[in-house]
């Protein structure tokens, strides 16, 4: 195993997992179970990786979006206190900060994300749309008005309903608590676009791809020197909020129709390492249209390792030890469930008649993995439960060593 030296004592190369929510928890668990020393790097007391038994220590750093320079300086200091390691961003704001300062960080650490040029191709959804068009990857029609006058010039050419989506997802989510907004009238469009514009948040107006949320598909891949080495697919079952929100139930399964467009968009963007590409099936023609590309671990990240494709561990072995990832068989029909979101969504659909009574319970009755709960690592689940019951976060578990 590769080592670094601290005070003359050899130790395994640590992994610095940036971000402590569902995606970060999946990475911490995968690497920690494999014996990798994991440092959980968080900015908020609500980030649950700080309570994981698989994190050997936890470090609190400035917010990457609001205090980027201080955030990067804190990451550089980790090389002195814990040794040079593998830096793994698991949020868009962390990835954006790391990508923008990748050269500086790479002088001290191994960095598991794209440089700034490539990162902007998937962080800025306007650029993603342009690249998809040039690469021949089907995607929703998208326009990006930059002023009220430009918006008004487009109004008569738009078909409602449509979506108001951010160019940078995390800034919009921080401001409004949702991924995007569906608008049905010109008045709703002006209001949704205007409230974002007033905050300096760039948005796009995008064609709505009709079809149920079960038409959503994830294509996960690991790319080395432009070649996809490992890939798997999964289907979304339920979203929170319904139809246009974040996944709360997902199932692994083969969706061959998205493999070629998934490979094509990653190649066109020049993405290396892990990426998650989201598609949605258009009920008008049955074809899958590109929704977005994420160049970081995704929210349902625990699903792939449970199916036999441990993306965080193969990332570590590739970047730290130089081991080329090898494709292996993976299990279909395994479910990922956000246990804090899905039960209420399911109950609402029973009450609203969208599902028959007790319909939709298959994720709980078959092979599954939860977003947070793990009997071998209960701390994050207990902390999340306490957060939901009261305003005070659970103190960090003994031995976590917050700095």
According to the model, what pLDDT value does residue 391 have? 60
> Do residues 1 and 12 make contact, with C-beta atoms less than 8 angstroms apart?
yes
Q: Residue 320 — φ and ψ, nearest 5°?
A: -95, -40
Handedness of CA 176, 371, 71, 92 (dihedral sign): negative
Q: What local confidence, expressed as pLDDT, does residue 169 receive?
A: 86
In terms of Cα–Cα distance, which of 49, 91, 129 is closest to 289? 129
Give the separation between CA 320 and CA 111, rounded to whole angstroms. 10
Strands 246-252 and 142-143: unpaired
* CB-neighbour burial class of residue 223 (10 A; exposed 0-12, middle 13-18, buried 19+): buried
Percent of the chain with pLDDT over 90: 87
**pLDDT recorded at residue 393:** 45
148 pLDDT more than 90 = yes
Q: Over range 121-126, report the average pLDDT.
A: 94
pLDDT of residue 11: 54
Average pLDDT, the chain: 92
Closest CA to 341 of 218, 252, 210, 236: 236
Mind listing the pLDDT tens digit for each residue in 153-212? 988 888 899 999 998 888 899 999 888 999 999 999 999 999 999 999 999 999 999 999
Instruction: Quick: pLDDT tens for 268-308.
Output: 999 999 999 999 999 999 999 999 999 999 999 999 999 99
Whose CA is closest to 140, among 172, 118, 162? 162
- What's the CA gap between 331 and 309, in Å, rounded? 9
The string of pLDDT tens digits covering residues 44-70 is: 999 999 999 999 999 999 999 999 999
Element (H, E) at 78: helix 68-81
Contact 221, 265 (CB under 8 A): no
Rounded to an integer, what distance in angstroms lies between the CA atom of residue 17 and that of residue 90? 7
pLDDT, position 398: 33
Give the integer Cα–Cα distance in Å for 384 and 401: 19
> Is 119's pLDDT higher than 50?
yes
pLDDT for position 314? 97
pLDDT, one tens digit per residue, over 368-389 is: 999 999 999 999 999 999 999 8
pLDDT number for residue 6: 35
**Dihedral sign computed on CA atoms, order 113, 115, 121, 124:** positive
Single pTM value for the model: 0.91
Question: What residues pair up with 288 in beta bridges, in sequence order?
Answer: 281
pLDDT surpassing 90 at residue 76? yes
**pLDDT-derived band of residue 73, with 50, 70 and 90 as boundaries?**
very high
Name, in order, each residue with C-beta under 8 angstroms of 277's C-beta and a sequence gap of 6 or more: 218, 219, 220, 221, 258, 262, 265, 266, 290, 292, 293, 294
Query: In the beta sheet, which residues pair with residue 249?
Result: 238, 337
Q: How far apart are CA 250 and CA 324, in angstroms?
A: 28
8 has pLDDT over 60 = no
CA-CA distance, 92 to 101, in Å (whole number)? 14
Over range 309-333, report the average pLDDT. 97
Q: How far apart are CA 70 and CA 68, in angstroms?
A: 6
pLDDT at residue 264 above 70? yes
Could you give the CA distance from residue 53 to residue 35 in angstroms, rounded to a whole number? 12
């Amino acid at each position: 195993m590769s080592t670094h030296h601290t005070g003359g004592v050899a130790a395994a190369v640590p992994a610095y997992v940036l971000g402590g929510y569902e995606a970060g928890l999946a990475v911490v668990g995968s690497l920690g179970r494999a014996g990798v020393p994991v440092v959980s790097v968080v900015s908020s007391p609500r980030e649950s990786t700080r309570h994981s038994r698989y994190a050997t220590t936890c470090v609190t750093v400035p917010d990457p979006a609001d205090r980027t320079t201080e955030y990067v300086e804190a990451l550089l200091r980790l090389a002195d206190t814990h040794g040079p390691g593998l830096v793994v961003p698991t949020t868009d704001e962390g990835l954006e900060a790391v990508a923008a300062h990748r050269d500086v960080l790479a002088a001290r650490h191994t960095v598991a994300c794209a440089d700034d040029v490539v990162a902007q191709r998937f962080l800025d959804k306007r650029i993603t749309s342009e690249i998809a068009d040039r690469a021949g990857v089907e995607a929703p029609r998208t326009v990006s008005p930059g002023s009220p006058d430009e918006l008004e010039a487009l109004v008569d050419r738009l078909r409602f309903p449509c979506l108001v989506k951010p160019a940078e997802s995390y800034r919009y989510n921080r401001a409004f608590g949702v991924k995007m907004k569906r608008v049905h009238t010109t008045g709703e469009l002006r209001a949704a676009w205007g409230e974002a514009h007033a905050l300096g948040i760039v948005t796009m107006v995008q064609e709505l791809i009709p079809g149920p949320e079960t038409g959503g598909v994830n294509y996960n891949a690991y790319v080395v020197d432009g070649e996809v080495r490992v890939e798997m697919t999964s289907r979304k079952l339920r979203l929170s909020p319904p139809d246009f929100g974040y996944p709360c139930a997902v199932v692994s399964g083969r969706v061959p129709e998205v493999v070629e467009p998934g490979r094509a968009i990653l190649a066109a963007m020049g993405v290396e390492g892990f990426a998650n590409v989201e598609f949605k099936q258009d009920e008008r023609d049955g074809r899958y249209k590109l929704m977005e590309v994420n160049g970081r671990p995704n929210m349902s990240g625990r699903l792939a390792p449970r199916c036999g494709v441990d993306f965080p561990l193969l990332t570590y072995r590739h970047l730290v030890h130089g081991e080329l990832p090898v494709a292996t068989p993976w299990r279909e029909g395994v479910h990922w469930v956000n246990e804090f979101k899905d039960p209420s969504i399911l109950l609402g659909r029973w009450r609203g008649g969208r599902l028959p009574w007790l319909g939709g319970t298959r994720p709980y009755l078959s092979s599954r993995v939860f977003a947070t709960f793990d009997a071998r690592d209960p701390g994050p689940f207990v902390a999340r439960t306490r957060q939901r019951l009261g305003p005070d976060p659970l103190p960090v578990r003994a031995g976590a060593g917050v700095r």
